[in-house]
Each structure stands twice: as structure tokens, then as C-alpha cells.
Amino acid sequence: MKEIEVKVFDNDVEKAMRILKKKIQNDGLFKRLKLKKSYEKPSEYRRRKVREALRRERITAARNRAGRR
């Protein structure tokens, strides 16, 4: 598990909370917690993994198209 650290400057807790939430979201912690909350059937797990792979593929393809322009 990697540590997530946020420093608070000038007692600005609200800004620190926004930064922390963004870091947690980028780390994928919210997604992992949501998946662990309930049982996922093996068929649903495979289907989700295929969907995630296709999504990553589309994003990569879009980035490559944008880079060629």
C-alpha cells in the first residue's frame, strides 16, 4: 500500500480535502473499495475486465490519433 500525503497550508483544510480526494481517486482506491463491497460473480468479473481493456484501448487509440495531427 502506498502512502498518500497532503500538506495543509494556511489552515486551508477545504483545499487539502479536495486535493486528498483527487489523489485517492487517481490512485483508484474508491474503485477498489466499491468492488470489494459486494461479491462479484466470476462471469461479471471477466466481463468487467474485458470492458476495462476495451476502454483503455479506445483511450490509447484516441491519444495516438491526436498526436499525429
pLDDT recorded at residue 21: 93
Looking at the chain, the whole-number percentage of residues with pLDDT higher than 70 is 97
Given a cut of 70, whether residue 69 has pLDDT beyond it is no
- What's residue 1's pLDDT? 62
Give pTM, 2 decimals.
0.58
The rounded distance, in Å, linking the Cα atoms of 38 and 41 is 10
